Chains A and B, each alone.
Chain A
Amino acid sequence: MKLAVVLLICMLSFSGSAQTDENHPPRFVIQPAIGYSYRLTDGKSSYPVDFLSELGRHSINHHFFAGSIFLSQSFGINLKATLNVKQYKNEYQSKGEQFSSFIRDYHSPLHYTEYDIQRMKFYLGESAFISLGVAYRIIKNKWTCQFGLNLGGIKMKTAGITYYLKEHGSNDYQSVLLKTDMDDRMMLSIEPSFLLSYKPIKRLGIFINCSYLFSPSKIRQIEERTDLYTDFRQTFEHSAKNKYHMIAVNLGLSVELGKITK
């Protein structure tokens, strides 16, 4: 709501200014957007820890705020901050049952498993991206095509999955925590994008943006097993079979400031 008011004020304040045309394109462009993302995976793995990558591939909370400074009519520098939040409340029952079945088969016959499906409801993944890149635009009348290539970093925060193991034929119990190492570091991100904007009124346009975001960094999947009686902990790392990459579609507003004169 606040964002809409700010944008409306910008629109009204700029509507009376000189019309921007192809010969005098805007120098600064501010672009807030909301959108959807779909995280791609490279295929299924046999490790329970890789199940994490199957969770929450869809997100309707993929929002960004970008600003571009154009040094010429066509080329500019783009700075972008993105936030992606996933929640699994709507799919927790089915995912929980899948996971429960997966770990039961994986650990059988040496161990019995115990997993509370309700826990899947609270599995939350948050990702923040910050990137800097170049933009190239083509302006035709009220339409603008903008191609971008950004480099930056991704910081993720995910809640791990915990379940219990009981060894067949003994009183030994363990808790197992599955997580990735993405929580502990910033990963390099690369994001090519394409934006199509239409400007119905002066200085204010609407756009649709499509981007493919990926990280060449390897993701380490971590499994922590803790003996419930002795508290002895063992950590296992599995080589990542999945890379972090996604496609995103955003809708937003373009607010144009300044102009480039020849």
Chain B
Amino acid sequence: MTKNTLLLLFLSILSGGLYSCHSKIKADEIPVDLCSVELDLIDNTFASPQLAAGDTVEAKAFGLRAVLNYVYDGNICRISPLETFSFFPACYASSSPDARKVYVSTERIDSIAIITTNYFDAGHPAGSNVAGCFSVFEKFEFHEANSYFFGYRSINLVSEYTFPLKEEVNLLLKEMPEYSGDFQFTIRFFLNNGDVLESVASQIHLNI
């Protein structure tokens, strides 16, 4: 009995230690909480992806921009301070940004899905996941969307001086729809804590 108890205690300590080592944020990393996501439409006709100005984009130059909103770990997760006026502004005060450090999300993303409300092609009817048709493009490299967001990763913030902190990720359409038409996309982030963050983009007409 005593031996079994000691063995169980030892295994508990060991697994707890391993878990904490695995999930522990390093001393030079700043933890941030993922609050919400937004989804914009982008037009990559010119030198770099821009927000789509009109309601029509050429499909081969089309993309989505996922905007992930973060706050510093422990701060209140709000989209805009104006929505939540407080007599305690320190609640929204951020610690001094440190450009030398690395920002990491406390929530892990298990997977993402990009749902099309319209028929895309034979393999992707209305309501299906077309994340495989998009590819993350960053620093002149293409990445598969799920593998890019999955797991423990450092975050490239647009600026450390905005509230909330924003990360913009461009997903370029690399597999064309079968027909021209109106499309509406929804992006969903499935977090490892069971939460789902979702955003719906405006409708757009894609020309083949």
Residues of A within 8 A of B (CB): 112, 114, 164, 166, 168-173, 175, 228-229
List of B residues within 8 angstroms of A164 by Cβ: 140
Asked if residues A169 and B47 are in contact (CB atoms below 8 Å), the reply is: no
Asked if residues B174 and A170 are in contact (CB atoms below 8 Å), the reply is: no
26 interchain pairs, CB-CB under 8 A = A114-B140, A166-B47, A168-B45, A169-B45, A169-B58, A169-B60, A169-B61, A170-B44, A170-B58, A170-B60, A170-B61, A171-B44, A171-B60, A171-B63, A171-B172, A171-B173, A172-B60, A173-B137, A173-B140, A173-B142, A175-B140, A228-B140, A228-B142, A229-B135, A229-B142, A229-B174
Q: CA of A210 to CA of B46 in the docked complex: distance in angstroms?
A: 53
With A169-B45, A173-B142 given, can you name 9 additional A-B contacts, CB distance below 8 Å?
A114-B140, A169-B58, A169-B60, A170-B44, A170-B61, A171-B60, A171-B63, A175-B140, A229-B174
List residues 123-168 of chain B with CB under 8 A from any CB of chain A: 135, 137, 140-142
Q: CA of A186 to CA of B175 in the docked complex: distance in angstroms?
A: 46
Question: How many chain B residues touch A (Cβ–Cβ < 8 Å)?
Answer: 18
Q: CA of A127 to CA of B90 in the docked complex: distance in angstroms?
A: 64
Q: CA of A175 to CA of B62 in the docked complex: distance in angstroms?
A: 21
A138, chain B: closest CB distance, angstroms: 61
Complex partner residue of A112 from B46, B140, B141, CB under 8 angstroms: B46
Return the chain A residue nearest B45 by Cβ: A169
B170, chain A: closest CB distance, angstroms: 10
List of B residues within 8 angstroms of A229 by Cβ: 135, 142, 174
List of A residues within 8 angstroms of B61 by Cβ: 169-171
Q: CA of A172 to CA of B59 in the docked complex: distance in angstroms?
A: 12
Known: A229-B135, A229-B174. A168 touches B140 (CB 8 A): no
Q: Which 4 A-B pairs have the closest CB atoms?
A: A112-B47, A171-B172, A170-B60, A229-B142
Return the chain A residue nearest B134 by Cβ: A171
B131, chain A: closest CB distance, angstroms: 16
Q: CA of A188 to CA of B140 in the docked complex: distance in angstroms?
A: 40
Known: A168-B46, A170-B61. A228 touches B141 (CB 8 A): yes
List of B residues within 8 angstroms of A112 by Cβ: 46-47
Max count, chain B CB within 10 A of own CB: residue among A112, A114, A166: A166
Q: CA of A172 to CA of B135 in the docked complex: distance in angstroms?
A: 12
List of A residues within 8 angstroms of B172 by Cβ: 171
Known: A114-B140, A229-B135, A229-B142. A171 touches B47 (CB 8 A): no
